[in-house]
Structure 1
């Protein structure tokens, strides 16, 4: 299962820099993870200052 980013996201971009597959991009409301590209590694969750990325 891919990670998803919840509404706690503050759009800081830390997760983008931490993603090894470049699966994260800026969405309309907050950063979004492309489920087709996400490898479920958790790197985004490890670097997020507010804990917005969660395993789905």
Structure 2
């Protein structure tokens, strides 16, 4: 399994490697979904923090 940081920094190489191996992979989508996940986790943590203050 590849580290997300590596995928992000080497997305073209990862995409090409997948293609060479005959694997369908949308590397851009993987990065986009990881970014959305991080944003949602941050939003959840902010809401929990606000809830704890009240």
Q: TM-score, normalised by structure 2?
A: 0.29
Which is richer in strand? Answer: 1
Higher relative CO (Cα under 8 Å, sequence separation at least 6) belongs to 1
Which is richer in helix? Answer: 2
Q: Decide which structure has the larger Cα Rg and report it.
A: 2
